[in-house]
Every structure is written in structure tokens, then in C-alpha cells.
Amino acid sequence: MKENWSVWESTNIPKGKYELISLEQNWNAVKLIFDDEKTKVEVTYKEEILAFRSCDESDRWKTIDTVLAEKGRYFFRNKLLFKVENSEFKQWYIQENFNTRNEAEFEHHVFVAMNDIIDVLALHEPVIKITPI
């Protein structure tokens, strides 16, 4: 299975070199906060998320290399949010749940910051708040 990465264009997040400032999970939501010294981006999943993972970007070299080989070396540059179809993470989740979820029921969102990569499997799109700093 070949993953298909795309830039999530509909979010209106300004281009920039974002750093992950905060990742918080509680009973009410999962919230991620990024900034690039000009813009603060708050991403809140208020609805149930199925799973998430957070890794230092240096621990995801295989993924980065594979995507850049297909999409070009500037694919991630100054962009924060991506969607992945045919996702290995989604397949892992489905297998772990003995196929109780259909792949079409949820999306794989990926936040690629300067030093972190955060994957989220979500039933709904997040609320995104963009604030100039």
C-alpha cells in the first residue's frame, strides 16, 4: 500500500517555519499550539479522536525521505498541515480494532513542524484558530 500525502489547503494557515509549543490532551479535547514568531496556530479537536502519535522529526526520516522522493524536496517547506490517504497509521488502527472501523469513517491528519511530526486519526476536522503574534 502506497501512502498519498497532500497539503491540506483549506485551512488558510499562513506559510511559515512552525514549532510545536504545546500538545495537550484532556477529557474535553486535544489541543496543539504552533507558532513561527509571526503567527500562532491553535488546533483543537473537540470531538473524539481515535489515536495520535508525536515524534521528533529525526525519528521519522524514513517517512520524510519517502514523501520527499515522491513529492519533491520542497513539499514540506513552510507548510504545517497535511492529509494522508492509504495511511499505514490508519491501517494499523483498523487492524488493532479487528476491523470495527471502516477506513472511510475517519481521516489521518499530519502536522509537520520544524522539529516534530504529530499524526492524528480523527472522526472530524479540528477547529483552527490563527492569531498574529
The continuous run of DSSP H or E covering 67 comes out as: helix 61-71
The reported pLDDT for the residue numbered 58 is 86
Tell me the C-alpha to C-alpha distance, in Å, between residue 16 and each of 5, 13, 41, 114, 115: 19, 9, 11, 10, 13
Domain count, the chain: 1
Q: pTM higher than 0.75 for the full model?
A: yes
The reported pLDDT for the residue numbered 78 is 95
Q: Write out residues in the chain with pLDDT < 50, as ranges.
A: none
The reported pLDDT for the residue numbered 6 is 96
The reported pLDDT for the residue numbered 47 is 82
The continuous run of DSSP H or E covering 20 comes out as: strand 19-25
Residue ranges making up the domain that contains 66? 4-132
The reported pLDDT for the residue numbered 85 is 96
